[in-house]
Structure 1
Amino acid sequence: MLKKTFFLLLFSTGFLGIKAQQTIPFRITKNNNIIVKTLVNKKDSLDLMFQIAMKEGAISPQRQRKADHLIFNKEEISENNTVDIGKMSWKDIRFTDNQLTGHEADGKIGTALFKGKTFKIDYDNNRFEIYEKLPDLKGYQPIPVIWKQDLFYFVADNVVDGKKQQEEYFALQSGYSGGILYSNDFADEKELDKHLKVTGEKTLKNSQGQSVITKQGILPFFKLNNFVFKNMPVGFFSGELKTQNISYFGADMMRRFIWIFDADRKMAYIKPSKYYSEPYYKIN
């Protein structure tokens, strides 16, 4: 009887260990950005945009709420801050000052919230889930990822000219409200301005009079694992300045899936969310 009780207790403990989790609620803006309500240094209530492409935090010069208890040095860095979300607390969070962020946000917070943990971005239920171990992966497709300099990279296929698939590495970028934004190298090499149907164009000039032309085009096919998107809007740059060094998988595409990232940051697992078939976000 004691042996039976011991094994029952062991099984129950193991089961709870797999299922035990912490959750962080968030809301999604009309611009597809994730907003988390935080308390910084026990004093400043700030709405921070989750930025998967960074580790620590940042404060925007256009913030609506005060951040008087963040002390920045000459390099605009503030060390050793606390961040509270509900009953959860993080220490030693670094903040950078004067970084632009998404609409409705006072700043940004990154993946330091999930250091050493498996985490899920659950767009269906508007929450993050934090795990000690991988949860049930039934229905998910695995995607190998490379985590480098706080960016998650993965490979996807692009059909530009209707003939063959072109592989490209994309970085997850939850701060970019749109879907796909191509690097200058990919746009130039694949001659996107010739092969894609261009639907929009804007020209911007810097203080030196150099021009940056942003274009919107229609990509015939985009394939991520077994998921295929047809006739989707994509963005790319042309002009004299070549500043876009990375291709982005933006927030409009991210929200179409539920994401699980392992603690080692070597694999992601995805399945369609309730936004999978929603209309594409329009870049103004």
Structure 2
Amino acid sequence: MLKKTSFLLLLSLGFLTVRAQQTIPFRITKDNTIILKTRVNKKDSLDLMFQIAMKDAAISPERKRKADHIVFNKDETSDDNTVETGALSLQNIRFTDNQLAGREADGKIGTVLFEKKAFKIDYDNNQFVIYDQLPDLKGYQPVTVLYDQDAFYIAADNVIDGKKQQEAYFVLQSGYSGGILYSNDFSEEKELDKKLKITGEKTLKNSAGKSLVTKQGILPFFKLESFVFKNVPVGFFSGELKTQNVSYFGTDMLRRFVWIFDADRKTAYIKPSKYFSEPYYKIN
């Protein structure tokens, strides 16, 4: 009887350990960005955009809601704030002032939500799930991740001209509503303006008269692990101003998968979401 009781106790504890998790609901805007309803310092109700490419939080100068209880110093930073979202309560959160966020957002918050935890971005059910340990990964494919300076990098293959695959590294960027945006170095080296079908172009000039040309093109094939996308709209820059130092894997691509990241930030696990075959987002 003692052995049976001990076995049942161990089984119960094991089950509780696997199930130990928290969920945070979110909503998705028409621009594919994730919005969290938060309460900051128990006073300010703010809609914060989730930005996977940053750790801490920030307030937008274009916010619609007041953030009177976040006190910034002369360097436009504020420490020791509390943030509540869903059932999660966080302490000692740093905010930076005057950082632009997506439409419908009063600011943004990053992966401080999941500090030292495994987490899921569940686009099927509009929620984050935070785990004490990895859940069942059946049906998921592993993707090697490089985590550097609060950003996640993944490698993917690009078929630009013919059948040759060109590997590139992309930063996961949930603040960019489009799908793929190439760095200046990649677009120049691969001559994207000559090899891709160009579908749009805009020219902007700064006060010094230097031009920044944004172009939209069609990439024949984009491959992430075993997942292949055809005729993908991509963006890149040309002109005198060289401002895009890294390539982006934006929200239009992010939403096509359910993502689970391990606590060590070395591996992501992906499977198709309900948005996998949705039409591509059009950049205005």
Q: TM-score, normalised by structure 2?
A: 0.99
Amino acid at match of 1:243: T
Aligned twin of 1:38: 38
Ranges of 4+ aligned residues in structure 1 off by more than 4 Å: none
Aligned to 1:144: 144
**In the TM superposition, what is the alpha-carbon distance from 1:86 to its structure 2 partner?**
2.9
Say whether 1:196 aligns with 2:196: yes
The count of corresponding residues between Structure 1 and Structure 2 is: 284
Q: Which residue of 2 aligns with 1:15?
A: 15
TM-aligned CA deviation for residue 163 of structure 1:
2.8
CA drift of 1:162 comes to 1.7
What amino acid sits opposite 1:91 in the alignment? Q
SS in 1 for 2:5: helix
After superposition, what is the alpha-carbon deviation per residue over 1:249-276, rounded to whole angstroms, capped at 9, x for unaligned?
Answer: 0000000000000000000000000000
Distance in 2 (CA, whole Å) between partners of 1:216 and 1:113 is: 34
CA distance in 2, matches of 1:113, 1:176: 20
Q: Could you say which residue in structure 2 is the equivalent of 1:85?
A: 85
Q: CA deviation at 1:182?
A: 0.2
Q: 1:129: how far off?
A: 0.1
User: Which runs of 5 or more structure 1 residues have no equivalent in the other structure?
Assistant: none
Q: Deviations over 1:73-132 (max 9, x none)?
A: 111101111001133210111000000000100000000000000000000000000000
Confirm whether residue 250 of structure 1 aligns to residue 250 of structure 2.
Answer: yes
**Percent identity over the alignment?**
77
**Are 2:206 and 1:209 equivalent residues in the alignment?**
no
Q: Is the 8 A contact 2:32 2:177 kept in 1?
A: yes
What's the counterpart of residue 224 of structure 1?
224
Deviation of residue 204 (structure 1)?
A: 0.9
Matched, 1:102 2:109: no
Residue matched to 2:178: 178
Amino acid at match of 2:121: I
SS at match of 1:12: helix
**Residue aligned with 1:228, SS:** strand
Report the AA paired with residue 86 of structure 1. Answer: G
Please tell me the residue identity of whatever aligns with 2:204.
L
Instruction: Please state how far the C-alpha of 1:236 moved relative to its aligned partner.
Output: 0.3
Verify the 8 A CA contact 2:22 2:87 in the aligned structure 1.
Answer: no
Matching of residues 46-125 of structure 1 within 5 Å? 46-125=46-125
Matches for 1:123-142 after TM superposition, within 5 Å: 123-142=123-142
Cα deviation, 1:155-179, whole Å, max 9, x if unaligned, reads 0000011230000000000000000
Q: Which amino acid is 2:103 matched to?
A: H
Long gaps (5+) in structure 2: none
1:253-268 mapped onto 2 (5 Å cutoff): 253-268=253-268
RMSD between aligned alpha carbons? 0.6
SS at match of 1:38: strand
- Cα deviation, residue 207, structure 1: 1.7
Q: Is the 8 A contact 2:200 2:215 kept in 1?
A: yes
Q: Distance in 2 between matches of 1:230 and 1:93?
A: 41
Moved more, 74-83 or 179-188: 74-83
SS at match of 1:13: helix
What secondary structure does 2:52 align onto? coil
Report how far residue 42 of structure 1 moved.
0.6
**1:175-229: per-residue Cα shift (whole Å, max 9, x none)?**
0000000000000000000000000000111121111000000000000000000
Tell me the secondary structure at the aligned position of residue 275 of structure 1: coil
Worse overlay, 79-88 or 25-34: 79-88
